[in-house]
Structure 1
Amino acid sequence: MKRIVLFLLTNFAVMLVLSISVRVLGLDRFLTANGLNLGMLLAFSMLLGFGGSIFSLLISKWMAKFSTGAHVIETPQTADEQWLVSTVRRHAEKAGIGMPEVAIYEGEPNAFATGAFRDSSLVAVSTGLLGSMTREEVDAVLGHEIAHVANGDMVTLTLIQGVVNTFVIFFSRVAGYLVDKVVFKTERGVGPGYYITSIVCEIVFGILASMIVAWFSRYREFRADAGSAALMGSPRPMIAALRRLGGVESGELPKAIKAFGITDRPGWMALFSSHPPIEARIAALEGGKG
């Protein structure tokens, strides 16, 4: 219910902000007088902006399993599988969420959590992570992923993506219409100026929007690290796990779930990275931040 209310409030807020922005800029009367239906454009922008994001979230579990080849542990067959399932169950009960599906996939060290609902999520770890970490370190990583689910990070990130997508679509088309009417002097319908300007603006605005989404994604990693420390009763295991990850080549996750992994090397594209540097995450845990 909270997620539905949040979704509705977010939609209302986006409509309100866009309406106020157009009026403050003095564009509403000009655009309306020149034949642009702002109400229809806003509805179209929200349909595309939120529709795509919500659809991606709803199929995120299926997509994650398909793209990584993750094997869901239905009935534990080995001691390691039994330990994985029981550890996830312990963290889930402590965090107050439903038991997630637990999966293993072949690959370099990494882990992720995804799913549209807190009580029906998926937590997966790679064989590389299991083979390169101690059980205590894996325990901390699992706590980190459970914290993501408990915090509702997947839903919140989807809503933020939907908001910025809506702004990008709306303002790129408003800019295209203005340029077409003012610069190219198109009198009927829309001309090349509209399409060219809309495409260019959508690329530029999209880059800026990606930076906003990436910033939030980095912020939520600090919260999930702190959540793991709380579930484990100490930040020490998560710090050890991060140090271990810093010394190995992390596994590359498919783009659709990259933001949900345990790590992602930012490199020179730090502003677009879904994860902060491991050193910064360790420093935050050691300083008691999150």
Structure 2
Amino acid sequence: MYEKPTFAELGAFLAAARHRNFRKAADELRIAPSTLSHFIRRLEERLETRLLHRSTRSVSLTAAGEALAGRLSPLIHDLDEALVEAANTKNSPRGVLRVLASDVVATLLMEEVVPAFLSEFPHVQLELVANSGFVDIVAEGFDAAFRLGDDVPKDMIALKFGEMSRMMVVGSPDYLRGRRLPSSPEELEGLAFVRSRPASGVPHRCEFEKGGKKISVEPAAVLTVNRSELALQAALRGLGVCYIPERLCRGHLGTGALVSLLDDWSPPYEGLCLYYPGHRLVPPALRAFINVVKRSQFA
């Protein structure tokens, strides 16, 4: 007689299918690897079908496993959404919400999103971490993170916010007055350059494109800082030009405090996404945070 699989067995299978590794899957579910192996073995016995190929070094899906994972993933996600919505009808969001963002995005979130969120949801303890490096948010315990759309891991749920953006070279009118302005990226060497070196220790290279031609340069720097906001402050004070996200300097360009250079070499790129693990329940606090972002000027 056919026995229906349990949710524990289905969850164990999906975790193993995502990670292709029993130990990582077990760590995600907070169970022992032997327990995870037992759940999957019971599922295969119920279905009378092998779902995974196992060896001492790797785990891979059989054709039946690929088909089952493809059908199960959206169903489990929809079920998680329904359970969260049901919980939200009873309880207001509370607890700790950990969000990761680059230095620039964290600064922008502080302008409107964070104050609005804390005002509306006082029982949530928001932890906003600024880190421009690539971080495994599951391993590091974050609920969500912001990243450019092209860089979001494929196994995450991604929500796109805002328009296309671009990197720009900017300087103050006082600094640029009387100086020869560059007509191509190679001519940046003629100006004092403020370089941004993130926590990874690798300086940002200046990437340009025009008419299908791509150029990457790294001008010699008179000043090196570890945050784009500091590079912006240096440019505003006339210490040189810097290469920073348009989002960060747009207001200063509007007031005339900064002037942009090489506009025709600065193409737009995919905008920001907020992303979170697709295999977890979306906590009420994260759902509330997403809604605040959607309502804000940030979006």
Coarse TM-score class (shorter-chain normalised) = under 0.3
> Greater RCO between the two (CA within 8 Å, min separation 6)?
2
TM-score by length of 2: 0.21
More strand by share: 2
More helix by share: 1
TM-score by length of 1: 0.21
